[in-house]
A and B are shown apart, each in its own frame.
Chain A
Amino acid sequence: DTTVKQNPRYKLARVGKPVNLICSQTMNHDTMYWYQKKPNQAPKLLLFYYDKILNREADTFEKFQSSRPNNSFCSLYIGSAGLEYSAMYLCASSRDYYAEQFFGPGTRLTVL
């Protein structure tokens, strides 16, 4: 089973409100990633976990937080949503840093 699950599939949020997105995988993968995807753009890596170690990209460091309470589960947290956060958020996992990534179906976030 190479399934990565994401919840919710669609999320509507108000400007200034928090948002919490959830991802899970049962492949026992060490690495889990969060990407932001906007129309006509490449997926943009926000952060990734290798085991319990969180790595955040420099340009999104202050905007996104994450937690990984166990190997299977990873969340993405936005403390105060802005209009610019409207996007598809894709979670992926892989056995190791350079192993094959498997993507979830995504959560489409709309901030109003």
Chain B
Amino acid sequence: GDQVEQSPSALSLHEGTGSALRCNFTTTMRAVQWFRKNSRGSLINLFYLASGTKENGRLKSAFDSKERYSTLHIRDAQLEDSGTYFCAAGDTGNYKYVFGAGTRLKVIA
């Protein structure tokens, strides 16, 4: 099966509310990154974590290698937060990152 399971696949939020995206891993991962796809199709870095939590503005991320998951929390969602978010985890055994399938977030007024 897939090494990285990302959920939900799609999410609608009202402006000002918040929610969490999650990635579960089937094996021990060395590090995790969260990205947002921009309008051109490239990936913008949100967070890189080897452990613990990081916060940047309205976004907060956590990574627990032992429990095999990572989360991305969005609070006070704004319309411009709409887009597709990906997690990618560093596979210890294969020296590469494995991507989740993505979460399509839509923020509505």
Interface residues of A, Cβ cutoff 8 Å to B: 33, 37, 40-45, 48, 50, 55, 88, 90, 92, 97-106, 108
- CB-contact partner of A100 in B33, B40, B96, B102, under 8 A: B33
Chain B residues, CB < 8 A from A92? 43
Main DSSP-derived SS at the B contact region:
strand
Chain B residues, CB < 8 A from A98? 30-31, 50, 90, 95
Tell me if A108 and B41 are in contact (CB < 8 A): yes
Chain B residues, CB < 8 A from A97? 30, 90, 95-96
Tell me if B45 and A42 are in contact (CB < 8 A): no
- CB-contact partner of B45 in A37, A90, A102, under 8 A: A102
Chain A residues, CB < 8 A from B44? 103
- CB-contact partner of B33 in A44, A50, A88, A101, under 8 A: A101
Tell me if A55 and B95 are in contact (CB < 8 A): yes
Interface positions of B from 51 to 109, Cβ below 8 Å from A: 86, 88, 90, 95-97, 99-102
